[in-house]
Amino acid sequence: MSLFIKKDLKKLIADAGDPNVESHSGGLKRHLNAFSLTLLGIGAVIGAGIFSLTGVAAANYAGPGIVYSFVIGGVLCAFAGLCYAEMAAMVPVSGSAYAYSYATLGEFVAWIIGWDLILEYAFGSVTVAASWSGYFVSLFTKTLGVPFSDTLMQFTKGPWEMVTLANGSQVHGLWNMPASFIALFVGIVLYRGIKESAFLNNLIVFIKLAIILSFIALGWGVINSMNWIANPDATGLAALVPAKALAERGGEQIMSFGWPGVLTGAGVVFFAYIGFDAISTTAQECKNPQKDLPIGILASLFICTAIYILMALVMTGVVPYKELGVPDPVAVGVDRIVSLRGWSDGAQKTLSFGVKFGALMGLTSVILVLMLGQTRIFYSMAKDRLLPWFDELHPKFHTPGKATMITAVFVAICAGCMPMSIVGELVSIGTLLAFVLVCAGVVILRFTHPEVERPFKTPIYWFVGPAGAAACFWVMSGLPNDTWIRLFVWLAIGFVIYFGYGKKHSKLRNQ
């Protein structure tokens, strides 16, 4: 049989079951509605982009023009989001881009994209868990003043990272215990059930949104519009963009001039948006997937884009953009707001605690949604027999028990020892490849299966699909060469597993 054997689209839709009937035969439980899905999307997207990437992109590339970088990133993701919404409503099955590719581009491409989604969800969780650890240590040692011994500090970073001891010397870390802890904690929550997972995510989202909106409200009244003038020689919108920005990456000096800096910034902050596609992995746990999935995907993207723009406006208006290139730019913004308002040191500590606590909450929800997506990808691939036993559901909780346990342990181990920078770039390239294939799949299905009912239709699909695919590939092209090499190595490992196991056991091939 051809490597590109495809699932019958009508059968694939039928396999999803009646979305209006909850399964009582041991299947996944339908607990999610449009509101829960929207909060899952916000939980996945609002995290590292707010608490880290905004400052890096502003200081090194775009200046106050970072606002336009977020607008561009939001538009690019909107293209992919519209395509995801059509696919998810038309094919309401767990598996996201993997399932869609199986019906449009064939089994081999579906395997590639499923293997890539592991990069997004599992290694994305690793990246965010490492960031969570950094805020956790900062909260206790700096904000609360709880001293960590030298031995304990060595257990806050992995063996490839350096730890600064009390006497100022630096040594290699031993293991990132906070990162491993949060991965295992989230795994336990996911193991208990989708209803409990959604409840925890909703609670976290409300907390972090309250903190973020408070920051915006407090900062809005003390904005200095002169901080938005990055290029005094220009007029109009170009005045927001530095005439020249310098950054260092791996010893190489990079230059960005004017509006190209905004485009480069868009590539940097694009990472902030990834994760919204995890909503589509919960299709078989939605009460009404044809209606709720498009609402959840598009509403979460719109809300998150608005929040990112408001945060960028306040941060660059309160703090000169050159001072934002630090790991915790929001904390820098808090200090400046307190100073401008003339508040006491006590107020500064209180607000600093709130920001770091909000960061921990925000990053926790990102890990939860990404690990949720990973377990559902494993579940879908195992149901197709391309992977073994990951589709086994817990008899009481009706969750993919083995997939959840293995995902949690894998993320805990990798987060404990792997450097965050390398993993983060792998996440970006894997996600973008998934976006490219979904955008292409929408256009292909319009020609190959025009008769299939589409509860949601991508507007002007002949433009949105190709534009989304081209935009995502453009962002991919800006990633370092070594990231592409690691992607090919990861794919080579996937090919060994596919040809050694998946192709032989494929349910579709053996029917």
For the cut 70, the answer to whether the pLDDT of residue 424 exceeds it is: no
For the cut 80, the answer to whether the pLDDT of residue 13 exceeds it is: no
Specify if 80 maps to a domain.
yes
For the cut 90, the answer to whether the pLDDT of residue 475 exceeds it is: no
CA contacts within 13 A on the Cβ side of 325 = 15
Specify if 209 maps to a domain.
yes
Which DSSP letter does residue 492 get?
H
pLDDT value at position 15? 63
For the cut 80, the answer to whether the pLDDT of residue 84 exceeds it is: yes
Specify if 295 maps to a domain.
yes
Paired residues of 256 in beta bridges: 245
pLDDT value at position 409? 94
pLDDT value at position 467? 92
First to last CA, the chain: 12
**Nearest residue to 439 (alpha-carbon basis) of 124, 85, 72:** 85
For the cut 60, the answer to whether the pLDDT of residue 26 exceeds it is: no
pLDDT digits (tens, 9 = 90+) for 272-302: 777 788 888 888 888 888 888 899 999 999 9
Specify if 461 maps to a domain.
yes
Question: CA 348, 353, 359, 364: dihedral to nearest 10 degrees?
Answer: -170
Domain of 181 in residue numbering reads as 9-510
pLDDT value at position 187? 92
Q: Is 377 within 8 Å of 98 (Cβ atoms)?
A: yes
What is the rounded CA–CA span in Å between residue 296 and residue 128? Answer: 22
Specify if 446 maps to a domain.
yes
The identity of residue 420, as a single letter, is: M
**Nearest residue to 311 (alpha-carbon basis) of 491, 120, 52:** 52
Specify if 130 maps to a domain.
yes
Q: State the CB neighbour count (10 A cutoff) for residue 175.
A: 17
pLDDT band at 23 (very low <50, low <70, confident <90, very high): very low
Task: Output the six-digit token pair for 393.
Answer: 């559901």
pLDDT band at 244 (very low <50, low <70, confident <90, very high): low
- The values of phi and psi at residue 136, to 5°, are -60, -45
For the cut 80, the answer to whether the pLDDT of residue 484 exceeds it is: yes
Which DSSP letter does residue 240 get?
G
Specify if 227 maps to a domain.
yes
What is the rounded CA–CA span in Å between residue 217 and residue 346? Answer: 19
For the cut 90, the answer to whether the pLDDT of residue 166 exceeds it is: no
Q: Is 132 within 8 Å of 356 (Cβ atoms)?
A: no
Q: What is the mean pLDDT of the chain?
A: 83
Task: Output the six-digit token pair for 7.
Answer: 């699932």
- Sequence-ordered list of residues with C-beta below 8 angstroms from that of 181, at least 6 positions apart, any chain: 412
pLDDT value at position 17? 56
What is the rounded CA–CA span in Å between residue 362 and residue 209? Answer: 9
pTM of the model: 0.83
For the cut 50, the answer to whether the pLDDT of residue 22 exceeds it is: no
pLDDT value at position 256? 59
3-state secondary structure of 499: helix
Report the CATH number that the domain containing residue 262 is assigned in CATH.
Answer: 1.20.1740.10
What is the rounded CA–CA span in Å between residue 379 and residue 393? Answer: 9
What is the rounded CA–CA span in Å between residue 281 and residue 11? Answer: 18
Q: Which comes out higher in pLDDT, residue 446 or 329?
A: 446
For the cut 90, the answer to whether the pLDDT of residue 182 exceeds it is: yes
Specify if 152 maps to a domain.
yes
What mean pLDDT is predicted for residues 240-251? 63
What is the rounded CA–CA span in Å between residue 163 and residue 44? Answer: 29
Q: Is 278 within 8 Å of 370 (Cβ atoms)?
A: yes
Q: Is 54 within 8 Å of 217 (Cβ atoms)?
A: no
pLDDT band at 24 (very low <50, low <70, confident <90, very high): very low
Residues in the chain: 511
pLDDT band at 314 (very low <50, low <70, confident <90, very high): very high
What is the rounded CA–CA span in Å between residue 104 and residue 294? Answer: 20
For the cut 80, the answer to whether the pLDDT of residue 60 exceeds it is: no
Domain count, the chain: 1
pLDDT band at 59 (very low <50, low <70, confident <90, very high): confident
